[in-house]
Structures are given as structure tokens and as C-alpha cells.
Amino acid sequence: MGSLRKMSFDAVIVGGGGSGMRAALQLAQSGYNTAVITKVFPTRSHTVSAQGGITCAIASDDPNDQWQWHMYDTIKGSDYIGDQEAIEYMCQTGPEAIFELEHMGLPFSRTEEGRIYQRPFGGQSKDYGAGGQAARTCAAADRTGHALLHTLYQGNLKNKTVFLNEWFAVDIVKNADGAVVGVVAIDIETGETVFVESKATVFATGGAGRIYASTTNAHICTGDGVGMALRAGFPVQDIEMWQFHPTGIHGAGTLVTEGCRGEGGYLINKDGERFMERYAPNAKDLAGRDVVARSMVLEILEGRGCGPDGDHVYLKLDHLGEEMLNSKLPGILELSRTFAHADPVKEPIPVVPTCHYMMGGIPTNVDGQALTIDREGKDKVIEGFYACGEAACVSVHGANRLGGNSLLDLVVFGRASGIFIEKQLSEGITLKEATEADIQRAMVGLNRINQSSDGENAAVLRAELQTIMQNYFGVFRRGDYMKQGIEKLDELRLRVENVYLDDKSNSFNTARLEALELQNLFETAYATAISAEGRTESRGAHAREDFQERDDENWLCHSIYFPGSKEIGKRPVNFTLKTREPFEPKIRTY
């Protein structure tokens, strides 16, 4: 093996979605030599699929709205394992970050006063839960993610960010001191492998919904950042916490925004009953997503599901009227007609809870610095390594994310990472050294795939992995089932490592990428399985039939999965607020 070509930057962002481009924008604006490595052209990133909006107390719908109420909702929504310091930072900084996006040109929908339009979303309240439903989600019709992603790409073009479009990051280059020095990446068009060296490496690689068979996530959401971090020996946090979105289109998995229920739509069972009134008498269809998803599954299990197989429920929108649907939810009309063959103007949409969001990820502090845990159980910053967006666990979502908070998370913490790295670069951080052996270590997985001479097809193994995760680690979980699931994953591990790549050509070889993505999917899935089996309680999205209660005595904490030992540890939740007393855990009802 000869040496790889080397490229060098002040900062390298892996991932061209919302958080990555927001971080890159910050750094490019201040003139640092910044590159974005992205496996798809930036506007193809999964942020583009976000529909309903970005939640933030900009006091447009309600001039008396307060970011502190948003903070309260988010902490409650997280089932109290969201870090309160990070949530405070997000909700307080949010308005500034939103106004910046608007100044950049984001085409938000408007109120009569000319301000940004806000709609109600699940889990939102006024006055710390006492003042009824709030409307706090800033929207660009039901295409907010698209509008946001394009605006950020445009901002980066304006500021001359270097884009390595259609490049795939293979693995982290880590030196003898444990510092991250960059990544090895493939230029997909030519197949060339390059060492991309950087003073700061930011993982903004998004989620991994493709570990499940049924997901709202794009094909590209394969947990690449989590996989790379785990292979480098770094831990991940709360990775058992997966959000199942209540309304994925039955059969297709495509997302139907919570904004539908925010605008007045509601769920019905086969008897036409608005069943959420029974499960959440106050918030009804706008309870937390975990609560709504579980209620739907219970309706189906108890024989009140719709359709010939009784395996879904209906989302009713027709009572809202065609004009309103055309102006507020035009994208949903399109999606439903295309994928459900149902016209929401006239008939309900068949929906089912569908894997949507990874609350866990690479643990970071508020500045985006990635963390590991030392022998004494203390947080330790990983030199040169940062994460933001869905790949990170900062943690503002805890055990359950509120709708509209993912876009806010990615903007606020993409920005915060950028600001912090900016400061570090201005103070003069030096480039860490990597030896040839360090670089070659990052090539091991790729070399194995390139040299494979027999084994199974990546697509076949991927389907098997997705079925295991769907069957054993879904909306409801049970210890004995999960143990069986882990055994199946143990059996699958060797086969995944021995995946066979028949086509060894260099030019735009997507089979090679799929073999690499499979490794990342597997690592993410395995960490999920171990962490889910280990957390012996029910909290937020993690609902166990054998441990049905929340156990604050033992589990009011983050789980931390260590890839070396394949075991989980615990990390305390942050309860330090700068502006007030912390919110104490309460029973969570809607």
C-alpha cells in the first residue's frame, strides 16, 4: 500500500445536511479553509424531507411566548433525561438562529402582520404546561426542511465553502494520543481514496433510520458517523432511544407531518373513533410522539386497526377543507396521492408508527466537542473531534424528541460547533500528527471489502439486519425477545464483516458504498440492541413490557455504550440551568 494523497483543511465537516452546512457556514464566513465532505450533493441530504417546521419561541403567533416555556416542554418531552443545560442553550439561542436563517432568505410562511407563521405541534404548551396548547413551530408551508436546506446551501455558496460533493468518509484517522486527525474518504466519481486532514473534524452525518425495515428516513441514513465513531473506539449515548413517528404512510413509510394534527387533523380507528381522547384527554392527538405511537399500536393490537389486515389507523384531514389543505399542507396532498393512493381532501390517510429519529448518538458538550468517559467515569473531550445534528447526542431530546425540535437542534448546535471551532482556530490550534500506520488503520475495513473473494451480498445482509431490528427492538420491547435479537445479531456480525463485493471497479461504484454503509448500520444496530436490553425501565420512546414503569432511582441517567467491551455504562444527566432552578422529574402526562 502506497501513501494516500493528502488534503488539508482548518475544518472538515462530514455531512452536508442542515447541521453540517450550518457549521460550515459559520467557519466559511470567518474565512477559515473549510471543507464539507458529503456522500450526496448537499440538497439531497435528509434534512430536505423535514416537513412541518422548526420549533422556536420567536413570539410571532403569541407575542407573550417565552423560550422558557419551550424549554419546559422539551425537558418534559425528553422524559427528563435531556441535558437541561443544553436544552436551555437551544431554546434561548433559538430565536437568534431562526432570524439569521430568515435574513439569509429562508421563505417562511407569513402571518397577516408579516411575521413568520407558527403552527401548533405535539407536546407544546404555554406557561409551563398550565396555559394550554401553544403554536410555536415556524413553518415554510409543509416543506420547511427543503427551504432550510436550500437556504443553507445557498449561504455556503455565497461564502465559498469548499464542497467535496459525492465523497464518502470511510473511517476516522486517530493518532497515538487518541486525537482525531481527519478521515479517510473516497471520491465516489473516481474511486480515489484520500486522507483528508484537519485541525477540527465535525461529524454531521445524520441518523440511521435504515437499521429498521420500516422508516421515514432516506436510503442514505445509514449511521455512518456513529459507525465510524464506534470503530474508532468512541462511545455512543442513549442509542436505545429511537423515535417512531406516529404517521408514516402505511406500506411506503413516507412521513406525514405532525403539522397535519397541528392544523386540526386527527387519528381514527376502524370504528371511526378519535381514540387519542382516551389515551391523552388534554393534548389528544398532540401528545408526545412516543405516547401517540404507542396508543396507535395498542389500537391495532386490540383489533381496532383499519384495512383488511387491521394493521394501520387513519389520519383524517378532509374536514379541514380543500383550500386550507392546499395552502398549509400542499406537500402532504402530493405524498398521500402518490404513495397512499388516497386524496386527503376526500378520504383519510392510512398511517402507522414508523422509525423516524435517533435521539442517541455521539455524546457532546454544548460546544459540539465529542466526549468519551475516562476510567473514573468523568467526561473527557476527544481532541479534534466534534459532532452536531442527529449524529450527536448533546442531549436535547433525551428519551423522546418533540416535533420541530430536530431542525432547531441542527441549526443551533451546527452554529455552536462552528462558533467554538472558530474561537479555537483563532487562538491557534495546531494540526495533530498522524503516522502512516494511523492512516492505514483507517483503511482496514475498506481493504477487507476490496479484497473480498466470497461472502454474501450487502443488500441481503442489510434486509436481514432490518428485519431483526424491526421484530425485536420496535415500539414495544421485552427482555427475552431482545436477548434473542442480540443472539441473531451476534450471528450476523461475522457475515456482515465478510460481505462480498463482486464489482471492484472504481468509477461511481455504489455497491462498494453499500458494503461500507452496511458496516455502519450494523454497528449502530448492535449498540441499539445492547443498550435497549440493558435499560431495564420504560422511559420516553423506550417502552418495555417487562419493565413498564419509569425507574428514576436507577435510570434517571444516560446510557453509554462502549464498543470495546460491548457493554453499557451510565452517565449523569445535566441538571444545571444558568437562568433558574432545574426542572425536577415529574410524572409525564398529556
Partner 1 sequence: MLNVSIYRYNPEVDDEPYMQDFQFDTEGKDIMVLDVLEKLKIQDPSLVFRRSCREGVCGSDGVNISGKNGLACITPLSEAVKGNKLVIRPLPGLPVIRDLVIDMGQFYAQYEKIQPYMINNSPAPAIERLQSPEERAKLDGLYECILCACCSTACPSFWWNPEKFIGPSGLLQAYRFLADSRDTATEERLANLDDPFSVFRCHGIMNCVQVCPKGLNPTKAIGHIRNMLIRSAT
* From 30-38, 194-202, 274-282, 503-511, span contacting partner 1 (CB under 8 A): 503-511
Choices 100-108, 170-178, 283-291, 565-573; region in contact with partner 1 by CB under 8 A: 100-108
Per DSSP, the residues of 12-59 read EEE--SHHHHHHHHHHHHTT--EEEEESS-GGGSGGGG--S-EE---S
Asked if residue 14 lies in contact with residue 183, where contact means CB atoms within 8 angstroms, the answer is: yes
Candidates 21, 184, 220, 556; binder of partner 1 (CB under 8 A) is: 220
Shortest gap between Cβ of 362 and partner 1 (angstroms)? 22
Q: What is the chain's percent helix, strand, coil content, to nearest 5?
A: 40, 25, 40
| Position 376 contacts partner 1 (CB under 8 A) | no
In the bound state with partner 1, the residue whose beta carbon lies nearer, of 140 and 402, is: 140
Q: Does 557 bind partner 1 (CB under 8 A)?
A: no
H helix runs in 78-143, sequence order: 84-103
Between strands 34-38 and 543-544, the pairing is: unpaired
Using rule CB under 8 A, residue 261 touches partner 1: no
* Per-residue mark of binding to partner 1, 517-556 (x: CB under 8 A): ----------------------------------------
Q: Does 193 bind partner 1 (CB under 8 A)?
A: no
Binder to partner 1 among 5, 6, 31, 105 (CB under 8 A)?
A: 105
The one among 157, 301, 324, 444 contacting partner 1 by CB under 8 A: 157
Instruction: Choose between 48 and 200: whose C-beta lies nearer to partner 1.
Output: 48
Cβ atoms < 10 Å from Cβ of 387: 33
Q: Does 45 bind partner 1 (CB under 8 A)?
A: yes
Quick check: 99 binds partner 1 (CB under 8 A)? yes
Out of 8, 29, 30, 43, point to the residue binding partner 1 (CB under 8 A): 43
User: According to the binding rule CB under 8 A, does residue 502 interact with partner 1?
Assistant: yes
User: 162-165 and 34-38 as β-strands: parallel, antiparallel, unpaired?
Assistant: parallel
CB of 224 to partner 1, least distance (A): 14
Nearer to partner 1, 147 or 543 (CB): 147
DSSP 445-508: HHHHHHT--S---HHHHHHHHHHHHHHHSSSEE-HHHHHHHHHHHHHHHHHHHT--------TT
Per the structure block, which three cell numbers stand in for 171?
473511517
Look up cell 464506534; give the residue. Answer: 230
Catalytic residue among 22, 119, 261, 289: 289
SS3 209: helix
Identity (one letter) of the amino acid at 18? G
Q: How far is the CB of 114 from partner 1 (least distance, A)?
A: 3
Q: How far apart are CA 21 and CA 30, in angstroms?
A: 14
- State which of residues 150, 397, 401, 477 lies at the interface with partner 1 (CB under 8 A): 150
Q: Which of 457, 470, 484, 498 binds partner 1 (CB under 8 A)?
A: 457
Residues 6+ positions from 322 with CB-CB distance below 8 Å: 345
Among 9, 72, 80, 108, binds partner 1 (CB under 8 A): 108
Instruction: Specify the residue, 151 or 369, whose C-beta has the smaller distance to partner 1.
Output: 151
Q: Which of 158, 278, 380, 493 is close enough to bind partner 1 by CB under 8 A? A: 158
State the cell numbers at 51.
416537513
Quick check: is 289 catalytic?
Answer: yes
Ranges within 118-147 binding partner 1 (CB under 8 A)? 140, 143, 146-147
Closer residue to partner 1 (CB): 8 or 159 = 159
Q: How far is CA 387 from CA 19, 409, 565, in A?
A: 9, 12, 23
Burial class (CB in 10 A: 0-12, 13-18, 19+), 64: exposed
Q: How many CB atoms lie within 10 A of CB 398?
A: 29
Q: What is d(CA 124, CA 136) in angstroms, rounded to the nearest whole number?
A: 7
CB contact at 8 A, 136 and 57: yes
* CB contact burial 300-333 (16+ within 10 A = b; e otherwise): beeebbbeeebebbbbbbeebeeeebeebbebbb
Comparison of 108 and 413: residue with beta carbon closer to partner 1: 108
Grid coordinates representing 253 are 413509510
Told to check if 154 binds partner 1 by CB under 8 A, we report: yes
Candidate ranges 118-126, 153-161, 227-235, 557-565; the one touching partner 1 (CB under 8 A):
153-161
Give whichever of 45 and 175 is closer to partner 1, judged by the CB atom: 45
CB of 386 to partner 1, least distance (A): 25
Alpha-carbon distance of 445 to 163, in angstroms, equals: 25
Binding residues for partner 1, total number by CB under 8 A: 62
Q: Say if residues 555 and 549 touch (Cβ distance below 8 Å).
A: no
> For the window 56-85, what string marks contact with partner 1 as x by the rule CB under 8 A?
--x---------------------------
Which of 109, 247, 417, 466 contacts partner 1 by CB under 8 A? 109
Instruction: List CB contacts of 460: < 8 A, sequence separation 6 or more.
Output: none
When the beta carbons of 139 and 317 are compared against partner 1, the nearer one is: 139
Per rule CB under 8 A, is residue 3 in the interface with partner 1?
Answer: no
Residue closer to partner 1 (CB basis): 217 or 424: 217
Among 320, 484, 509, 552, the residue binding partner 1 under the rule CB under 8 A is: 509
Q: Tell me if 254 contacts partner 1 by CB under 8 A.
A: yes
Active site residues: 289
Interface positions with partner 1 (CB under 8 A): 40-41, 43-46, 48-49, 58, 95, 98-99, 102-105, 107-116, 140, 143, 146-147, 150, 154-155, 157-158, 189, 218-220, 252, 254-255, 331, 334-335, 338-339, 457-460, 501-503, 505-511, 514
